Structures are given as structure tokens and as C-alpha cells.
Amino acid sequence: MIPYAFKYERAASLSEAERMIAQSAEAKLLAGGQTLVAAMKLRLARPSKLVDISGLKELRYIRVGNGSVSIGAATPHNEVATSADVVRAIPALAALAGLIGDPAVRHMGTIGGSVANNDPAADYPAAVLGLGASIVTTRRSIAADDFFKGMFETALADGEIIKEIVLPIPERAGYRKFPNPASRYALVGVFVAKTKSGVRVAVTGAAPCVFRVAAMETALRRSFAPEAIAQIVVSDEGMNSDIHASAEYRAHLVGVMARRAVADALR
């Protein structure tokens, strides 16, 4: 066993969390702990200090208004999945949250932790990018298009804390994923959203980072129907390849999941 010790501090407010996290470059925020604690057990992460924000009520809410749904960063997936407001405003988002992991993960894991972590196979990044959401932090508001930078990499600076995610309400949206049968993470997941200004198609699981498919967006803008994208071939270049699925298979799944997501959006 590799010996390792760290400090634990529980923040009583967001401003206190900001102060605590600023005190050490090696400190990390702890939200649901569903990724971070496992990474620490494996010694893949060795923060000098954990700043626990999971109890902050000021980061745990769902508000609907001004054409968008705003979700506090410390809101667990289960609250998003079961919120009547989310089900009414963006049913595809509630459905996506209900597909994450298992009940234990959904009761502990948070939207802020998931988005900050930017796991290549996580579900929320597809919705955040697909809806053209904004990530509001303690310092600024970041457009989803500028937020997800690469595998486990985001635009967040050291000590910057996500406060909320603001998701515009689309006219229609759908999400489909082909889950890994063990973890339920997405081998491939596709979120499709139709808004007044156009169509956005965001893919998770297939590549090192969530990405948009411009050819599908153009075709769906002309005709929002599964057949409109049936002939689009997605290249397997740069796609993930592992024991679960080859790059070629993942590229194929992008098309299949996208067509099903569009069909769901039309229901």
C-alpha cells in the first residue's frame, strides 16, 4: 500500500470554499466523491486537502425561468432525474440523468462534479454541449463550446468553482446511449437538440472528449427526421478503441444513437 494522508475541510458556504481551495494548489473540491474518492483509493489522485462542498444548500437547486433550466452544481443526478420541472421543461435531460450509473451513484454524484470531471464517457457533457448550456463559475460564465477541452480537461482554472449550469430549453430534444453493461457509462451517447436558432448534435463516449457533428446538424436543420441523417458516415479517426468497443464500432454507434435520439425528440 502506498502511504498517503490528506486534510479534510467541510465548507459552510461557497465563499468559505473559495477561501479554503485557494490556500493550497494541491487541494481539490469534493462533491459526490463518486470519481474523486475512487481515484484517491487507487492513488491516481493525491490531493493535499479535500474541500467538501456536498453540503452546500446554496449549490443545490433546480430553477426554471427565462427560457432555461438552472441547476446548482451540487445537485445530485437523482434530483434532476425526478424533478417535475425538468421533466416538463427538458424531458431528455431528466431521462439522461436517470440513466447515469446505478441508484447509489445517482444519489451521490452531482452535475457540477460530472461536468468538472469531463470523463470521456460521461452523460452530462453531451447534454451541456448539445443544449448550448453555460457553465457559471465563481469567476465567469463559460459557453459549453469553450468549456470541454479534452480528456478530463476543461476550461476551469485552479480554484475556480462551478456554481451552476444554465441549460436553454429547446423546442425538442432526445438522448440515446449505448451503455457499458457493467458501469452504465456511455460507450456512445448522442444528445440532439432543436432550438429556434438551429440544431445541435453532441456525442459522448466515442472520442477522448465530447464533440459536435456538424454534418448531422446541417442535415437536421433542413429536415428534423432520423432519415435525414441516415446516409451520414461518421469517420472512426481519433475515436476511442478499447476492450469494450473498437473505434469502427463506436463510429457506427454514433449514427445509430443519433437517429434514435432524433426519433425520441419527435415523440
Ligand X SMILES: Cc1cc2nc3c(=O)[nH]c(=O)nc-3n(C[C@H](O)[C@H](O)[C@H](O)COP(=O)(O)OP(=O)(O)OC[C@H]3O[C@@H](n4cnc5c(N)ncnc54)[C@H](O)[C@@H]3O)c2cc1C
Which of residues 22 and 214 has its CB atom nearest to ligand X in the complex?
22
Helix (H, G, I), strand (E, B) or coil at 228: helix
Which of residues 26 and 171 has its CB atom nearest to ligand X in the complex?
26
Q: Among all residues, whose Cβ is closest to ligand X?
A: 113
Show Cβ contacts of residue 182 under 8 Å, excluding neighbours closer than 6 positions.
Answer: none
CB of 133 to ligand X, least distance (A): 15
Closest CA to 53 of 34, 72, 31: 31
CB of 260 to ligand X, least distance (A): 17
CB of 128 to ligand X, least distance (A): 11
Which of residues 37 and 232 has its CB atom nearest to ligand X in the complex?
37
Q: Are 14 and 161 in contact (CB under 8 A)?
A: yes
The 3-state secondary structure of 68-96 reads EEEEECCCEHHHHHHCHHHHHHCHHHHHH
Helix (H, G, I), strand (E, B) or coil at 242: coil
CB of 3 to ligand X, least distance (A): 22
| Backbone angles phi and psi of 131, in degrees to 5 | -90, -5
CA atoms lying within 13 Å on the CB side of residue 1: 5
CB of 211 to ligand X, least distance (A): 16
Quote the CA–CA distance of 99 and 81 in Å, as a whole number. Answer: 9
Q: Are 220 and 194 in contact (CB under 8 A)?
A: yes
Which of residues 68 and 110 has its CB atom nearest to ligand X in the complex?
110
Quote the CA–CA distance of 26 and 22 in Å, as a whole number. Answer: 9
CB of 27 to ligand X, least distance (A): 9
Interface residues with ligand X (CB under 6 A) are 28-36, 38, 73, 100-101, 105, 108-110, 112-114, 116-117, 122-124, 156, 161-162, 183-185
Which of residues 185 and 211 has its CB atom nearest to ligand X in the complex?
185
Which of residues 113 and 226 has its CB atom nearest to ligand X in the complex?
113
